[in-house]
Chains A and B, each alone.
Chain A
Amino acid sequence: MSSAQIEIQLIASLVAIACAIPGTFLVLRKMAMISDAISHSILPGLVVGFFITENLNSPLLIVLAALTGVITVVLVEQIQKTGLVKEDTAIGLVFPALFSIGVILIAKNANDVHLDVDAVLLGELAFTPFDRLLISGVDIGPKSLWIIGFILLITVALLFAFFKELKLSTFDAGLAATLGFSPAVIHYGLMTVSSITTVGAFEAVGAILVVALMIAPAATAYLLTTDLKKMLLLSIIFGVFSAISGYWLAHWLDASIAGSITTMLGVLFFVVYLFAPSKGVIAVMYREKQQKIEVSLLTFLLHLKNHTEESERHVNHLNEHINWQKVRSKTVLELAQKNNMIAINNHIVSLTKKGDEFTTLAIDYIMTNEDAQIEDMKDDFFLFRG
């Protein structure tokens, strides 16, 4: 690997981490669309900032562009507050307007601004190693690396300092307000960090990848964990994994790096969406099937409990009485036998002591919804897993 290759992967990874952190909270706050709005509407901020500073790497430019991001959020909220349109409509109104102002500004001043719309959407990750930061003539690395590294440092520091506040106000803004943690302050803090990260990452990776890196890793992690800290960690891992594997995919296919990273993010999400242990599509389908069988089992056990007459409990006539197909009654019969809930003597099925107790408990549970007593059954039976 050449040093340029390492630098590109390093920049992409840092961008991925810097995006995954605010992205996790955006996803949990159901604000994924907001990051899309921010990433597009900072364009006029960038252009105006460039007119003022005449330097694409000036901190002032980043501040101005980030400010446009926050203004976008405020505009969206104001439009939404009128009660005339919903949030997604408000977002749809604001960001194309701001983005097109940016595009027009670039087109009108094409000679002065070294920005083009392609670069804005897709970034120029491949060129980042060529733009070096020199301090008194000494090359200390690519400028993008320093910019995103600095932003990441601030993001991580803020995350550590305000983790508790972020968690609380994301889960329950009302309680946060009553306890004195202004949800508005935390909200705009998060919006500011998201905007700054977007601006910092934007030049390197473009608007589309910024959005993908904020939302996809967090959405993927959400399917895998029930712990906020783990979700943050997984988002970061997924982001970095996609950044690096995407880079090599691009290398191998000779394609756009940003495009390949986005593809990897999509692939990763899809795989997890299918195979996640409890929230994945396959797991959900399997569980539903199991639940169906267990409901049948319970119906069957209840039938045995309610009918003392032998004619109702003859193995060969069970399907007639409960009105099931053969296959289903066979599965249920085997399941009940496997769990020692029934005994078959002379083709007559009867409940064992265990089966009888289980049926009573299960009926109790269904009627009262009282969990405590059924706790230990949960591992054996899907039905009671809520």
Chain B
Amino acid sequence: MSKSKIAVQVDDLTVAYNYKPVLWDIDLEIPEGVLMAIVGPNGAGKSTLIKSILGILKPIAGSVSIYGQPYEKQRDLVAYVPQKGSVDWDFPTTALDVVMMGTYGSLGWIKRPGQKEKKAALEALEKVGMLPFKNRQISQLSGGQQQRIFLARALVQDASIYFMDEPFQGVDATTEIAIINILKALRKANKTVIVVHHDLQTVPEYFDWVTFLNVKKIATGPVKDIFNDDNLTKTYGINYKVSIQK
């Protein structure tokens, strides 16, 4: 990789819930323009890592920077797709309205979204193939459609770095292909895309960069160099789990 600009830098990050650390001294550098998978077993702290980078959770130690600045100064550069299960899909609102929420950051407090924001939201819906469903109440959408709506909401932010927490969870094959094509297009446009991913089979096909995580960072780097049995065993293997618990 010749371009060595660092999009996201994490230093000595430790995060705990109720004083029980779930991320332990994480150092991580994510170069600009990669499409990166974060892999690790359930409860490894993948979601926690993303939430800490985005300032949703306060770490007990360590720091995070986005293009060399703290997150608070770089909000406009970052878009986030939370885990689908993190919101209540029975909330009284429509697909279009959810996508519009992506524009709220650029509006700031009090100001209401207008025609410009609506147009941007409609374009994003079009990109994910959800335009025909724009007025559908969100509980009336299938799992894959809900995930596309979330993706559209991130696209409308027109960010430089995208964080996505399990965007392929519970989606059908067509949607998975549609989503990965959009992610690849983002990378082509030199955006940095960071995806929590569960299906190890598809890592080499979808991603060019990977981070192995299980409470500690096991490894991070190009898929072709580090996606191997050794790191997989270290991340998912039983022996390794035992050794970190003491």
Contact = CB atoms under 8 A, between A and B. Distances in A.
- A associates with B: yes
Interface of A: 28, 30, 81-83, 161-165, 167-168, 170-172, 174-175, 177-181, 222, 225-228, 230-231, 368-372, 375, 385-386
Contacts of B113: 164
A178 B56 contact: yes
Q: Which 5 residue pairs of A and B lie closest in terms of their CB atoms, listed nearest first?
A: A179-B105, A226-B137, A177-B56, A178-B54, A178-B80
A171 B98 contact: yes
A265 to B, nearest CB: 20
Contacts of A163: 112
Contacts, number: 95
A371 B54 contact: no
Contacts of B153: 175
A369 B80 contact: no
Given A83-B18, A369-B144, A385-B140, A171 B82 contact: no
Nearest to A180: B75
B201 interface: no
A178 B104 contact: no
B80 A368 contact: no
Interface string B148-189: 000001000000000000000000111000000000000000
Q: Is the interface of A mostly helix, strand, loop or mixed?
A: helix
B104 A171 contact: no
A371 B132 CA distance: 11
Interface string B126-154: 00010010000101111011000000010
A168 B104 contact: yes
Contacts of A386: 140-142
Contacts of B78: 178
20 contacts: A164-B104, A164-B110, A164-B113, A170-B91, A172-B82, A177-B55, A178-B54, A178-B56, A178-B78, A178-B80, A178-B105, A179-B104, A180-B108, A225-B92, A226-B92, A227-B93, A368-B173, A368-B174, A371-B142, A386-B141
Contacts of A375: 132
Given A178-B56, A227-B93, A172 B51 contact: no
Contacts of A231: 92
Given A164-B110, A174-B54, A177-B56, 5 more contacts: A171-B101, A174-B82, A178-B54, A385-B140, A386-B140
Contacts of B173: 368
Contacts of A226: 92-94, 137, 139
A175 B80 contact: yes
A174 B51 contact: yes
A374 to B, nearest CB: 11
A368 B142 contact: no
A3 to B, nearest CB: 39
Nearest to B154: A175
Contacts of A162: 109-110
Contacts of A180: 72, 75, 105, 108
Given A162-B110, A179-B75, A368 B54 contact: no
A331 B98 CA distance: 42
Given A226-B94, A227-B94, A172 B87 contact: yes
A30 B87 CA distance: 12
B115 interface: no
